[in-house]
Amino acid sequence: MAMNPTAMLKAMEAVKRFQNNHPKVVSFLRTVLGSGLPEGTVLEITCTKPGEEPITTNMKVTKDDIELFQSLKDMQG
């Protein structure tokens, strides 16, 4: 399945804007993901919308998750 070059360029531009707008998030992801996520790692995320209570969830990384992450990484080149 080939990606449309125009869509790929737009996606790359969007990633660059995200990196510029959220440097702390990018740094955090590089640190956490760069060292790998061994099975059993717990990821937690909280979303706080304006005027609403925070909602938090978590997941424990499984072998299947690691395989998915590796597949996505391999697709990047």
Contact status, residue 39 vs residue 62, Cβ threshold 8 Å: yes
- Tell me, what's the pLDDT at 58? 98
* Alpha-carbon gap, residue 34 to 30, rounded angstroms: 5
- Tell me, what's the pLDDT at 55? 98
Cα–Cα distances (Å) from 8 to 12, 26, 29, 68, in that order, read 6, 20, 22, 21
Considering the chain, what percentage of its residues have pLDDT values greater than 70?
94
Nearest to 58 by CA among 40, 69, 45: 45
Range 12-24 average pLDDT: 94
5: pLDDT strictly greater than 90? no
Render pLDDT for 51-71 as a digit per residue (tens, 0 to 9): 999 999 999 999 999 888 888
pTM above 0.85, yes or no: no
